[in-house]
Amino acid sequence: MKVRVGETEYLDIDTIEDVDLDVEEYYVDGERLTEARAEAIAREVMRRHGLKGGRPPLAPAGSQRIGFRVPADLHARLKARAKADHQSESYVARQALERYLEPAA
């Protein structure tokens, strides 16, 4: 996949990973990257290049962000399942939570 990074410059991207910026630390220009900063950077890049868009909302009423800790082995299983299914970890976790919270028959 090629991503435009300038007027005529493109960068080859082999993989794109979902990361939890509340857990994993990434730095841009010496400052820790947060979800809010990542969104601001994305908006700025889109503005500069005349792009519009973004992820569609998960639901008409919007979505809420939650966070919780899991044992390392459970996280490893989640990552493996998400990768095998070509889905994000968030998607797989949402699906599991939906199934768990379905009314009992």
**Tens digits of per-residue pLDDT, 21-75?**
877 888 878 888 888 888 888 788 777 776 665 566 677 677 788 888 999 999 9
44 phi-psi bin (left φ>0, alpha ψ -120 to 50, beta other): alpha
Task: Please provide residue 74's backbone torsions phi and psi, each rounded to the nearest 5 degrees.
Answer: -70, -40
Between 13 and 29, name the one with better pLDDT: 29
Task: Reply yes or no on whether the pLDDT at 11 is more than 90.
Answer: no
Which range marks the domain in which residue 44 is found? 1-54
Question: Rounded to whole angstroms, how far apart are CA atoms 82 and 93?
Answer: 9
Domain match, 6 and 32 both: yes
pLDDT, one tens digit per residue, over 82-100 is 999 888 898 899 999 999 9
Domain match, 13 and 41 both: yes
Domain match, 49 and 14 both: yes
pTM for the whole structure: 0.46
Would you state the structure tokens that stand for residue 46, as one six-digit string?
């889109």
Look up tokens 């900063």; give the residue.
37
Task: Reply yes or no on whether the pLDDT at 14 is more than 70.
Answer: no
In this structure, is residue 73 part of a structural domain? yes
Domain match, 82 and 49 both: no
Provide the domain count of the chain: 2
pLDDT at site 2: 65
Task: Reply yes or no on whether the pLDDT at 6 is more than 80.
Answer: no
pLDDT at site 36: 84
| Domain final residue pick, 54, 75, 92 | 54
In this structure, is residue 96 part of a structural domain? yes
How large is the C-alpha radius of gyration of the chain?
Answer: 17
In this structure, is residue 60 part of a structural domain? no
Domain match, 5 and 45 both: yes
pLDDT at site 98: 92
pLDDT at site 28: 79
